[in-house]
Amino acid sequence: MNFTLNCQGRLLSLSTPRVMGILNATPDSFYAGSRVFTESDLRSRVAQLRSEGATFVDVGACSTRPGGVLATEAEEMERLRWALPIVVSEWPEAIVSVDTFRADVARMSVEEYGVGMVNDVSGGQMDAAMFGMMASLRVPYVLTHSPRLPLPPTAESGDDDVVRSVMLFFASRLSELRSQGVADVIVDPGFGFGKNLRQNYELMHHLDYMGETGCPVLVGVSRKSMLTKLLKIKPDEALSATTALHVMALERGASILRVHDAGAAREAIALWQAVNHPQDIE
């Protein structure tokens, strides 16, 4: 299905899958390679993501890693007020996404800095005002399946049918979003959010079911514990495993890959395209 997103008046086709690069203006995100602390670090990180093929730059300022302590709203806003002006002004061709579960942070990011997408890892559960805010802001919204935040260090669901639970969650939340007039929604099954190892792979096995929502699907598995626990490796050793799962996600209908390593994801997409559409190779 050829989805199109309206990002602040810019129409973006997802006929070819896209890469979303991760940029964390936080001191405690689980993968150090995505963190930035200085303006030089920030510029280098965005330049790298863009040169490697990231269409979206997803800026987060409040880590939701299991066992972490959530930044306050004031802390999150302060970090974004530092990072967003640089990213938006120096890379105007990029589509900037803000990774937040707070409605007021989303409003600030869109209205003050022109951010083109909101990525809410709580699925609207942490802030009751989020869905109404999205109706007002009129930018694409990433709806993620997750338990309430913050996650404890060993947060795992005992649900025996995780795929059914995720689909019911999407059906309910999408109905509410549509009733409030939110047009562009991307669904994210929330790999790693309150799911045990088996459940994460059950979701990947049945990822194609997510397309029944009628929405594009975002997949975020980059260097996550579902890889490191299974393979008994560290996050900084998980690039090849990440790439392998990215190809499987593309085969099952993913439209956006949210990643730490944009170049490897872009190459995976190019190879997947070549195998599935060899007639397009020049």
Write the pLDDT tens digit of every residue in 170-186.
999 999 999 999 999 99
Higher pLDDT, 222 or 31: 222
User: What's the CATH class of domain 17-280?
Assistant: alpha beta
pTM: predicted TM-score of the whole model, two decimal places: 0.92
User: Minimal CA–CA distance to 60: which of 44, 47, 71?
Assistant: 71
**Cβ atoms 132, 177 nearer than 8 A:** no
Q: Give the active site residue among 45, 224, 252, 266.
A: 224
Q: Give the active site residue among 107, 173, 258, 266.
A: 258
Per domain, the residue ranges of the chain are 17-280
State the virtual CA torsion across 103, 203, 217, 147 in degrees, nearest 10: 0
Q: Is there a catalytic annotation at residue 234?
A: no
The pLDDT value recorded for residue 282 is: 83
pLDDT confidence of 149, banded at 50, 70, 90? low
Write the pLDDT tens digit of every residue in 53-98.
999 999 999 987 666 678 899 999 999 999 999 999 999 999 999 9
